Amino acid sequence: MEIEPHPDLVKYYEITHEFRSSFPVNHFFTNGEHYNIVSDIERNIFLLRRLDDAGLLKTNTNVCDCGLGLGNALFDFYLQSKEIEGKTFQFTGIEKHTEYTDFVSERLMQLWQTELLLINGDIMDQDYSKYDLVYSYSPFNNKQQLDTLYRKIVEESKPGTVIIEHANNGYGHLGVLENTPGISKIDIDDQVVFIKG
């Protein structure tokens, strides 16, 4: 069965496609980071519903995207949340590159209908204790920085926090997330998520 994306999601993707970065090609690589990589929209289909069916969403779920980029994945979750009855959601996007946050503020915020808390800051300087679901798409391209990030998220988060890594069907890169202590893996159809114990 083919599923048509939400019209607002199509619009969001069309607008982000207009973004042009002034960063030199090697800027992110030399800083151990990844540039804005758009997530695979098909992997996220009904992901919030699938998490809810598995009993992994709280009645009030605070969702964070660490390394927001332009926010494509988080906006998809935002639209999905509108279809889940009996639960409320808050959305926070953390992004340190002002060029990205300016574009989101100026071109995309109207689609969020003021329901995005946009933080222009470093993901390593944030407190993850207030979030119930933390999403990332491997914001770092090396094992040491990924390990430091995942350990920080796990150490600061509450028991039951869901950690979603988009890369490699939820496993992330370099085997780091799967080997992070304090979390357990749960299969959600064709991908995995991790839960803080």
pTM of the model: 0.91
Residue partners of 23: CB distance under 8 A and separation at least 6: 35, 97, 99
Task: Report pLDDT for 27.
Answer: 55
Average pLDDT over residues 116-138: 96
**Domain assignment of residue 189, yes or no:** yes
**Domain assignment of residue 25, yes or no:** no
**Domain assignment of residue 27, yes or no:** no
**CA 197, CA 190: separation in Å to the nearest integer?**
22
Domain range for 60 is: 7-14+42-196
Provide, rounded to the nearest whole percent, the portion of the chain with pLDDT above 70.
Answer: 89
Task: Report pLDDT for 157.
Answer: 98
**CA 173, CA 144: separation in Å to the nearest integer?**
11
Task: Report pLDDT for 43.
Answer: 72
178 is written with which tokens? Answer: 């799967």
Distances (CA, A) of 44 to 111, 178, 197: 19, 20, 24
Kindly report which listed range (32-46, 59-73, 146-160, 174-188) carries the lowest average pLDDT score. Answer: 32-46
Amino acid sitting at position 59: T
**Domain assignment of residue 63, yes or no:** yes
Task: Report pLDDT for 108.
Answer: 98
Q: Is the pLDDT of residue 152 over 90?
A: yes
Q: Is the pLDDT of residue 36 over 90?
A: no
**Domain assignment of residue 73, yes or no:** yes
**Domain assignment of residue 2, yes or no:** no
| Domain count for the chain | 1
DSSP output for 96-134: --HHHHHHIIIIIHHHHTT-EEEEES-GGGS-GGG-SEE
DSSP state, 25?
T
**Domain assignment of residue 24, yes or no:** no
Q: Is the pLDDT of residue 34 over 70?
A: no
60-118: pLDDT as tens digits: 999 999 999 999 999 999 999 999 999 999 999 999 999 999 999 999 999 999 999 99
**Domain assignment of residue 19, yes or no:** no
Give the helix/strand (H/E) hosting 18. none
The SS3 assignment for 80 reads helix
**CA 49, CA 35: separation in Å to the nearest integer?**
29
Indicate which CATH number applies to the domain containing 90.
3.40.50.150
